Amino acid sequence: MTHNDTFPRQYARTQRLSLGEPRSFTLSPCSQRLVFARTESGSNSVNMLWVLDTETGEEKCVFNPQAVLDNTGNITAEELRRRERARESASGVVSYSCDAAVEHAVTIINGQLFLIDLLNGRSSALNIEPGVFDARLNAPGTHVAYIRNGALCVAGISQGTDNTDEKVLASDPAPHISWGMADFIAAEEMGRQRGYWWSPEGEHLAVCRVDESPIDTWFIADPAHPEKPAAEHRYPAAGTANAKVTLHIVHRESANAIEVALPHSFEYLNSVSWSAAGLIVQLQTRDQKSIAVFSIDATNGIAVEIFTDSDDAWVELVSGVPTLSAAGKLVTTVDREGTRRLQVDGVLVTPAHLQVRAVLHVGETIVFQANHIDSPWTIDIWRCDVATNNLTCLSSSHPTPHSVSGIATDNAFLLRVSHMTTPRAEFSTSTGHSVQSHAEEMLVAPNVAFHTVGNSNIPVAIVTPRDNSTSKLPVLFDPYGGPHAQRVVGSLLAYATSQWFADQGFVVVVADGRGTPGKGSAYERSVLHDLAGPVLVDQVEVAQALAQLEPRADVTRVAIRGWSFGGYLAALAVLRRPDIFHCAVAGAPVTDWRLYDTHYTERYLGNPAVNAGPYESTSLINDAHLLERPLLLIHGLADDNVVAAHTLQLSSALLAAGKDHEVLPLSGVTHMTPQEVVAENLLLHQLSFIQRSLPTAP
């Protein structure tokens, strides 16, 4: 913490208070070693690699990349794109891969591959040319695979030396074709950050071949630097062509490749899982209403369908499944009786009141994350015995609302616990030892009250200043409000920015309306074919109930701010309900859903090439003539996810309609806004705009 620190400065400097927190955990099969990455302090952005002895609790740094960061090459463009998809803004060890015994690891620093001995802490740069990314060890630790210029390569490792022998396993001279990489849609929308998988014995690889040539090319330029050429970006906008993705089995030594015979009726390759129990893949149709799981014979590429599921709206993708248990049982999730439930070989093993959020481990046991649908802000970790289907909660000892994540093996686990009584997350192992966090404590003290509103029981968190004043205060809605992101959670840290706004003299409201996760299948699917109506109606319902929930709320002065979907919602609110919302800050908003990607947008609005109606009814550009309230649009000009065209086209429509508004372009900034000076002053600028734009107090 620096002298005269303010919260906006601290929040920017610490990358949203994430620096110094341990992350990226791996447990050894013997459960004696816990590997993780962590920075040296809460303001240092360079991750080092650490090992915790789970029996003694002793921590040891096994790799400090600081000494080599300045002496290696540049980060590859592919790696930068991978980090953007993963919302990664730190440096140093941002990812790593271990062998099966968790005795060795590899990581990439600025394109240079390093081998780390996790037992004695020795490390060395492998003798291969820099310029690689996404390195992964095979299970025996004898070979490492990685990507170089769109080609999948492999190198043998002689333990104790840096001698390697690079071999190109799969490549293609044609433009826009890569091997072993995740395509944009897989990484951005499916949660699949990788494009190749080692076999358990380490002699074969399942590899994606990605052909992006059918995708339209977009050009993202930096207007602040006209001397630099525009970057080409293959962007699959809604209603247009996707990448062609095929799966191949490649032999490590011979480089012989066999294409897996998967049906062409499924456009998306969601996931691949290769364990000792077998190789399976999940495919999904373009309309996302059907999925199928196939078992693959790795010797000949023959695929046999073993499971299908369908839904009138869409089949949700869940992290960690489908996969096979140690006994070969298919573990997946399905929406049944109103909730997302864990299913093992066709048998539902979780009750209808639990909403499964992610699967963390599958072996002799299954460890998963879930919440009770009546209290979505409390998320716990559960264990299921595959043989008996008995369930045990591993994290229910915290009486206050909390949010728990973690990793596990059959006999050990690491839990990250956030709750409403301590400002920082706590990390504990099943052996009773804790992992130290170096994260700074936030310079605000969140004062949060949970509520539910209306017939839908909309989850609401109200954040107020820590004083005893009874004076009326203006209101600031601070939602995300859309699919796949939950803001009302049992974690003090989640309300840090909201509390800072509250301390400036606001009642801050965070509401998770229909479409957000945690409250069951019907709640999520309420936005089918309409990402505007139900979303806005629920925010309005909360605003109309606010006088009963918080006496200090002055509902004659209501602002709303948001980023990404939250930015869309903020602009939507002042355009369609100026009687409720009196000014808005819309950051990186989607203004025309035709400009967003296929997989996300078509899941909710369908294919515009088939029916453009839902796109017309949810477009902010079509509503530009309705603007009556102050609106600030903010957009990073280097954003390749929600491209700046969204804000620019809305601004043009507003100007054509004679509607005053403000635009703040952020040069060189992506969707993440990681730059410290940008992040700090962005908060201050939003505050200033809201303060001068709200009506004067009576």
Please write the tens of the pLDDT for every residue from 491-523. 999 999 999 999 999 999 999 999 999 999 999
- 474: tokens are 């203006």
- Say yes or no to pLDDT of 77 above 80: no
pLDDT in tens, 305-326: 999 999 999 999 999 999 999 9
Candidate from 223-232, 294-303, 389-398, 457-466 with smallest mean pLDDT = 389-398
* Phi–psi pair at 20, nearest 5 degrees: 90, -10
CA gap 401, 379 in Å, rounded:
8
Helix then strand count (H, E) for the chain reads: 12, 43
The one-letter code for the residue type at 213 is S
Side-chain-facing half-sphere of 137: CA atoms under 13 Å: 27
CB neighbourhood size of 111 (10 A)? 18
DSSP 175: T
Q: What is the model's pLDDT at position 485?
A: 95
- With 0-12 CB in 10 A as exposed, 13-18 as middle and 19+ as buried, what is 461? buried
Q: Which residues contact 442 (CB under 8 A, 6 or more apart)?
A: 7, 10, 11, 17, 423, 493, 496
Best CA proximity match to 488, nearest among 516, 459, 445: 459
User: Radius of gyration over alpha carbons of the chain, in Å?
Assistant: 25
Supply the angle between the helices 565-576 and 533-549 in degrees, to the nearest 10.
Answer: 80
Q: What are phi and psi of 89, to 5 degrees?
A: -125, 0
The reported pLDDT for the residue numbered 327 is: 96
pLDDT of residue 334: 98
Q: Residue for token digits 């289907």? A: 389
* Distance, CA of 198 to CA of 182 (rounded, Å): 15
pLDDT at residue 3 in the model: 58
Contact between residue 134 and residue 154 where contact means Cβ atoms under 8 Å apart:
no
In the predicted model, is pLDDT for residue 158 greater than 80? no
Q: What is the pLDDT of residue 6?
A: 93
User: How far is residue 550's CA from residue 29's CA, in Å, rounded to a whole number?
Assistant: 51
Residue 592: half-sphere exposure toward Cβ, Cα within 13 Å: 21
Cis peptide before 589 (omega within 30 of 0): no
Q: What is the pLDDT of residue 4?
A: 74
Angle of CA points 85, 100, 349, to nearest 5°: 75
Average pLDDT value for the chain: 94
Banded model confidence at residue 563, pLDDT cuts 50, 70, 90? very high
CA distance 224 to 30: 54
Q: At 522, which helix (H) or strand (E)?
A: helix 521-524
CA trace torsion 630, 635, 641, 645 (10° rounding): 80
Q: Are 192 and 320 in contact (CB under 8 A)?
A: no
Residue 160: Cβ within 10 Å count: 10
47 has pLDDT over 90: yes
Residue 597, classed as helix, strand or coil, is strand
Among 154-158, 264-268, 426-430, 633-637, where is mean pLDDT lowest? 154-158
Q: Residue 194 is which amino acid?
A: R
Domains observed in the chain: 18-170 (2.130.10.120), 448-693 (3.40.50.1820)
Q: Which two tokens stand for residue 224?
A: 């602040």
Instruction: Answer yes or no: are the C-beta atoms of 631 and 568 closer than 8 Å.
Output: no
Q: Residue 1 above 80 pLDDT?
A: no
Burial of 121 (0-12, 13-18, 19+ CB in 10 A): middle
Of the ranges 72-76, 90-94, 529-533, the best mean pLDDT one: 529-533
* pLDDT at 88 > cutoff 80: no
| Chain position carrying tokens 């080092």 | 48
Report the alpha-carbon distance of residue 496 to residue 475 in Å, rounded.
17
Dihedral of the CA atoms 546, 550, 556, 562 (nearest 10)? -70
Stretch (H or E) spanning 305: strand 303-310
Burial environment of residue 385 by CB neighbours within 10 A (0 to 12, 13 to 18, 19 or more): middle
Distance, in Å, from the CA atom of 213 to the CA atom of 243, rounded to the nearest integer, reads: 7
Produce one character per residue of 228-239: b if its CB has 16 or more CB atoms within 10 Å, e if not: eeeeeebbbbbb
Q: Is 338 left (phi over 0), alpha (psi -120 to 50) or beta?
A: left
Compute the average pLDDT of residues 99-112.
95
Which residues does residue 274 pair with via DSSP β-bridges, in sequence order?
279
The closest of 582, 538, 583, 585 to 566, measured between CA atoms, is 585
CA dihedral defined by 561, 566, 570, 576, rounded to 10 degrees? -160
Dist CA 95 CA 562 (whole Å):
30
> What whole-number distance in Å separates Cα of residue 39 and Cα of residue 15?
12
- Give 68's pLDDT tier (boundaries 50, 70, 90): confident
Closest to 250 in 3D by CA, of 191, 192, 298, 306: 298
Q: Which two tokens stand for residue 625?
A: 């003539």
SS3 221: coil
Q: What is the dihedral of CA 455, 457, 461, 462, to 10 degrees?
A: 20
CA distance 324 to 362: 7
**pLDDT 10s digits, 590-620:** 999 999 999 999 999 999 999 999 999 999 9
- The owner of tokens 């920015």 is 497
> Is 270 within 8 Å of 317 (Cβ atoms)?
yes
The pLDDT of residue 375:
94
Quick one: pLDDT band at residue 159, thresholds 50, 70, 90? Answer: low
Q: What's the whole-number mean pLDDT along residues 670-683?
A: 83
Q: What does the alpha-carbon distance between residue 38 and residue 596 come to, in Å, rounded to a whole number? A: 34
Give the integer Cα–Cα distance in Å for 570 and 591.
11
CA atoms within 13 A on the CB side of 504: 18
Q: Residue 72: its pLDDT value, please? A: 52
State residue 400's pLDDT score: 83
pLDDT at 310: 98
Beta bridge partners of residue 583, listed in sequence order: 559
CA 249 to the chain's CA centroid: 29
Q: How far apart are CA 128 and CA 136, in angstroms?
A: 15
Per-residue pLDDT for 629 more than 80? Answer: yes
Contact 42, 418 (CB under 8 A): no
Phi, psi dihedral angles at 343 (to 5 degrees): -130, 130
The predicted pLDDT at position 676 comes to: 80
Instruction: Look at the chain and count its residues.
Output: 698
Query: Which band of pLDDT confidence, cut at 50, 70 and 90, is reported for residue 266?
Result: very high
Binning pLDDT at 50, 70 and 90, where does residue 73 land? low
- Give me the residue label for tokens 């052996």: 431
Locus of tokens 């046991």: 365
Q: How confident is the model at residue 698 (pLDDT cuts 50, 70, 90)?
A: confident
